[in-house]
Chain A
Amino acid sequence: MKTSEEKIQDYIDGLLQGEELLAFEQELATDLQLREQLNLHREVQSILARRMNSGEDELRTNLHEAAHANRHSESDNKSKSLYRILVPILAAACILVVIKFSLSTSSTLYQLPIMESEIVRGSGEAGKYEDAVIYFNNQSFSEARDILNQLINSDSLNVQYKYYHALTYYGEENWSESIAELETIADGESVFAREATYYLAVAYSKENKNEKAILLLQQIKSDDELGRKANKLLKDMQ
C-alpha cells in the first residue's frame, strides 16, 4: 500500500496509471489539503530542477575570479596611492636624515666655520680681509692669521678679526692658543660670543678638559643650529 507522499511523487513523475490514477484524481478533486500538498511538491520540485541544472557553479567561478581581480586591483590602487603619498615623505625624511647626519656627525661638530666673504670696513682693509677669507677657507691658517694680525693692528676693537684669528689656531689644532683667544671673545658680548663659546668648548675637549667644555656647552641654548650642535657634542661627551 502506497503512502500519500508516494502517490503524490508518482503522480508528479507521471507514474500513476489506470485505476490508481483515477482514484488519485478523484481524491484531489475533493481534498483541498491534498491539492495544497501536491502544489507545494510541484513548486519545490520545480525549484530543485531549476537550481540543479542552472550553471550556477560556472557563474560562481567567474564571480569569484572577478572579485579576486577587483580586490587585487583595489589593493594595488590603494598601495599606489599610498606610495604617491609616502614616497615624497620618505624622500624628504631621507634628505632630512642626511642633513641631520651631516650636521651632527662628530667630524662636523669639530669643523671650522666658513669664513664669510664680506666688506668690513674701507676699501683697503676690505681687500685684505678678502685675502684672509681665501687663505682661511683654503686652510692656509698661517697666511690668514698674518693678514688678520694686520687688520687687528689697524682696528683693535674689531671682534670679527679676532674671532677668525683665534680660529686660525683652532684650524692648526693649536688648542692652547685658540683657547686663550677664544676665552676673551666668549666672555664678551659681541655677536661672536656664542660661536666662540662653542669652539672654546671643543678646544677644551681636545685638551681633555671635559668639565670646562661641558660647562660651556651647557651655556649654549639649543634653539638654533649652534645650539643643536652643542647639545649633540654635550651628549657625546656625557
Chain B
Amino acid sequence: MHVDQRYLAYLKNNDRMGIDKIYKNYAKKIVAMIVYNSGTEDDGYDILQEALVDIYYMVKDKDFQLTTSFENFLLMVCKRKWLNALKKKQQIQVTKSTEDLFHIEDESAKEIAESVQQVEKENTVMQLLDTLGERCQEIIRRCMTEKHQEQIAESLGITYAYLRKKKSECMANLISKVKAHPYFNGDVDF
C-alpha cells in the first residue's frame, strides 16, 4: 500500500483534520499551477475543491489503490479539470512546461485516467439533471432517495400512476440529453 493512501482515506471518511492536512500540504502548489496557467487564486481553490470531490467519488465505493504519490495524483486530476475549464472558457492553452511537469510515466496514469473519466461522466449526468425543469428534478431526486413512491405521490398531490408516468417522462428527457452529450456519444476523447 502506498504511504499516501491515507489521503484517500481522509476524503473517503470525510475526515476534517485529514482534509486540513491535504490543503496544508498541497493547496499552495495546486493554486500556483492554476495561476501559472492563466487562472486566478479563486480558480485554483475551486479546481482543488472539485478535484477532491472527484477523488472522493473515485474511492467512495471502491478499493482504489494509489500507485503514485498523492501529489502526482491530485495534480493530474486538477490539471485535467483546469484544462476542461479552459476549453469551456476558450482561453489560452496550458504551457508545455507544465504539461511536462505533470507527466506521469508509470502505468498508474491509465488507471487514474479511467477513474477520472468515470467521475466526469457522473458529473455530466448530474449537471444535465440540473437543466431539467424543477418538477422533473424533484420527482427524480425523491424517487432516488425515498423508498415509498406512493408516499412521494401523496406528498406531491398526484396519483401513484401519474407519478410513475411523470418519472418515466423525466427520465426519458434526461436520457435524451445524456445521449446527445459529447461525453456519451463518443465525440470527446478522454
A→B interface (CB under 8 Å): 3, 5-6, 8-10, 15, 37, 40-41, 44-45, 47-56, 58-60, 62-67, 69-71, 73-74
Chain A residues near B121 (CB, 8 Å)?
A: 47
Q: How distant is B74 from chain A, measured CB to nearest CB, in Å? A: 13
Count B interface residues, CB 8 Å.
Answer: 40
| Given A6-B165, A44-B174, A48-B129: A67 touches B45 (CB 8 Å cut-off) | yes
Could you tell me if A52 and B164 are in contact, using CB atoms closer than 8 angstroms?
no
Q: How distant is A122 from chain B, measured CB to nearest CB, in Å? A: 75
Which of chain B's residues has its CB closest to A2's CB? B168
B→A interface (CB under 8 Å): 11, 14, 16, 19-20, 22-24, 27-28, 45, 48-49, 52-53, 56-57, 60-61, 121-122, 125-126, 129, 140-141, 144-145, 164-165, 167-169, 171-172, 174-175, 178-179, 184
Choose from B14, B23, B126, B171 the contact partner of A45 (Cβ within 8 Å).
Answer: B171
Which of chain B's residues has its CB closest to A9's CB? B168
Question: Interface on chain A toward B: helix, strand, loop, or mixed SS?
Answer: helix
| CA–CA, A3 and B165, complex, Å | 9
Chain A residues near B175 (CB, 8 Å)?
A: 5, 37, 40-41, 44
Chain B residues near A62 (CB, 8 Å)?
A: 14, 16, 19
Could you tell me if B164 and A10 are in contact, using CB atoms closer than 8 angstroms?
yes
| CA–CA, A64 and B27, complex, Å | 12
Q: How distant is A39 from chain B, measured CB to nearest CB, in Å? A: 11
| CA–CA, A67 and B116, complex, Å | 22
| CA–CA, A49 and B171, complex, Å | 13
Chain A residues near B45 (CB, 8 Å)?
A: 67, 71
Q: How distant is B42 from chain A, measured CB to nearest CB, in Å? A: 10
Chain B residues near A71 (CB, 8 Å)?
A: 45
Question: Interface on chain B toward A: helix, strand, loop, or mixed SS?
Answer: helix
Could you tell me if B19 and A63 are in contact, using CB atoms closer than 8 angstroms?
yes
| CA–CA, A62 and B165, complex, Å | 39
Could you tell me if A66 and B23 are in contact, using CB atoms closer than 8 angstroms?
yes
| Given A5-B169, A44-B178, A60-B49: A54 touches B57 (CB 8 Å cut-off) | yes
Which of chain A's residues has its CB closest to B52's CB? A63
Could you tell me if A44 and B125 are in contact, using CB atoms closer than 8 angstroms?
yes
| CA–CA, A171 and B174, complex, Å | 99
Could you tell me if B61 and A50 are in contact, using CB atoms closer than 8 angstroms?
yes
Task: Report, nearest first, the 9 A-B pairs whose CB atoms are least far apart.
Answer: A70-B23, A5-B172, A6-B168, A9-B168, A66-B19, A66-B23, A52-B144, A47-B125, A47-B122
Q: How distant is B111 from chain A, measured CB to nearest CB, in Å? A: 20
Could you tell me if B168 and A5 are in contact, using CB atoms closer than 8 angstroms?
yes
Chain B residues near A67 (CB, 8 Å)?
A: 23, 27, 45, 48-49
Chain A residues near B49 (CB, 8 Å)?
A: 60, 63-64, 67
| CA–CA, A87 and B89, complex, Å | 42
Could you tell me if B164 and A6 are in contact, using CB atoms closer than 8 angstroms?
yes
Could you tell me if B11 and A59 are in contact, using CB atoms closer than 8 angstroms?
yes
| CA–CA, A47 and B171, complex, Å | 13
